[in-house]
């Protein structure tokens, strides 16, 4: 009955009955809280970001506020070299991070999927950084990279790097230093998602392959990897969006420096809005970020033919 109503009839007019919800209305009642919250605190802010992107809006300079048309966008694309730099860095950051996380995460998941002595403890330990926040990750790596007392000092003793330099304040080392810090936390996340999916591979397949004499590498290539495909595609996409959007780590680790070397677009947006109060321009940048994200996701899903065949 519920389904018939949903497919054939327009929604029933609201009845004045006070009895407990009929099945027809029940699903709407159930999603109402979620829908209202999301309308109020996601949809409405998104729309207002689009609106502000066409405005000059700066609470510290109210005399200049007003309709700006596409000025903000024009400024970003033609007059703001920082914008282009942040775009390039964002792309570099996402590709390197997600690529390495996928590689190491897959390897880690394959390893801890085996049975071995101490597996439970091993899993718990290697997955533990996943629970750690961006800010805490920064705190830890700030301690490790500290030029006076960090591990860099002990590494310098062994001939890796040199004394007294902080890897986070040198333009030539800050990128790998930040990447490693984020990998520390990101690899376990990937590994957990992949491990969860690994456990649902039918063991019969491997047994059959074994009977047919397939090597372990062949088994991986022809059984494991195809099985993991959807999980990999989805977690890569989620992770890429997340790495792009996440501000916590870089904001606290490098603050986008040195010399803007590690400023992603969202970090630039945060700085523009929170520190410079230039809300109109920040909104325009946000809009650009949305479009880029949506476009890249579409292309990615299309290229990977995710859910294509049905």
301 binds another protein (CB under 8 A): no
149 binds another protein (CB under 8 A): yes
| Count of CB atoms situated within 10 Å of the CB of 237 | 17
234 binds another protein (CB under 8 A): yes
Is residue 267 within 8 A of residue 250, CB to CB? The reply is yes
160 binds another protein (CB under 8 A): no
Task: Rule CB under 8 A: choose which of 203, 212, 217, 308 binds another protein.
Answer: 203
2 binds another protein (CB under 8 A): yes
| Count of CB atoms situated within 10 Å of the CB of 280 | 25
Structure tokens, 193: 């998602």
Residue 242: in which H helix or E strand, if any?
helix 225-245
Residue 55: in which H helix or E strand, if any?
strand 55-56
94-126 b/e (C-beta count within 10 Å ≥ 16 → b): bebbbebbbebbbebbbebbeeeeeeeeebeeb
| Window contacting another protein (CB under 8 A); options: 67-75, 159-167, 170-178, 224-232 | 224-232
| Binding residue count for another protein, defined by CB under 8 A | 109
Least spacing, CB of residue 84 vs another protein, in Å: 19
206 binds another protein (CB under 8 A): yes
| Window contacting another protein (CB under 8 A); options: 60-68, 93-101, 158-166, 231-239 | 231-239
3-state helix, strand, coil in the chain (%, to 5): 70, 0, 30
Segment 36 to 75, residues that bind another protein, using CB under 8 A: 37-38, 40-46, 48-49, 52
Q: Which is it for the CA torsion 128, 129, 134, 139, positive or negative? A: positive
| Window contacting another protein (CB under 8 A); options: 65-73, 87-95, 125-133, 157-165 | 125-133
Radius of gyration of the chain (CA): 25
Segment 166 to 195, residues that bind another protein, using CB under 8 A: 184, 188, 192-193, 195
Least spacing, CB of residue 302 vs another protein, in Å: 15
The tally of CA atoms less than 13 A away on the side-chain side of residue 125 is: 6
Task: Rule CB under 8 A: choose which of 16, 18, 19, 33 binds another protein.
Answer: 33
112 binds another protein (CB under 8 A): yes
Least spacing, CB of residue 75 vs another protein, in Å: 18
Segment 235 to 254, residues that bind another protein, using CB under 8 A: 235, 238, 241, 244-248, 251-252
| Count of CB atoms situated within 10 Å of the CB of 127 | 17
Structure tokens, 177: 């230093």
Segment 274 to 293, residues that bind another protein, using CB under 8 A: 274, 279, 282-283, 286, 289-290, 293
232 binds another protein (CB under 8 A): no
Three-state DSSP at 1 gives coil
82 binds another protein (CB under 8 A): no
């Amino acid at each position: 009955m519920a389904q018939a109503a949903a497919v054939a009839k327009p929604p029933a007019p609201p009845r004045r009955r006070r009895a407990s919800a009929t099945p027809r209305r029940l699903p709407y009642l159930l999603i109402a809280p979620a829908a209202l919250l999301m309308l109020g605190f996601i949809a409405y802010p998104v729309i207002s970001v689009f609106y502000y992107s066409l405005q000059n809006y700066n609470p510290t300079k109210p005399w200049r506020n007003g309709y700006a048309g596409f000025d903000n966008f024009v400024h970003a694309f033609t007059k703001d070299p920082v914008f282009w730099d942040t775009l390039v860095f964002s792309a570099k950051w996402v590709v390197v991070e997600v690529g390495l996380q996928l590689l190491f995460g897959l390897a880690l998941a394959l390893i801890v999927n085996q049975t071995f002595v101490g597996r439970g403890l091993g899993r718990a330990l290697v997955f533990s950084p996943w629970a750690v926040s961006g800010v805490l990750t920064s705190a830890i790596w700030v301690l490790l990279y500290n030029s006076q007392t960090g591990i860099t000092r002990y590494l310098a003793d062994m001939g890796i790097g040199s004394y007294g330099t902080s890897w986070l304040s040198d333009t030539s080392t800050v990128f790998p230093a930040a990447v490693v810090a984020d990998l520390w936390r990101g690899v376990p996340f990937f590994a957990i998602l992949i491990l969860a999916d690994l456990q649902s591979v039918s063991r019969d397949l491997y047994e059959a392959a074994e009977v047919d004499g397939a090597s372990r590498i062949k088994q991986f290539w022809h059984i494991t990897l195809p099985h993991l495909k959807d999980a990999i595609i989805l977690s890569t996409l989620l992770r890429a969006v997340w790495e792009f959007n996440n501000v916590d780590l870089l904001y606290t680790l490098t603050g986008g420096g040195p010399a803007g070397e590690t400023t992603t677009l969202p970090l630039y947006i945060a700085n523009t809005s929170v520190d410079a109060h230039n809300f109109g321009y920040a909104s325009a940048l946000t809009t650009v970020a949305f479009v880029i994200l949506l476009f890249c996701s579409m292309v990615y899903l299309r290229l990977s033919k995710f859910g294509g065949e049905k």
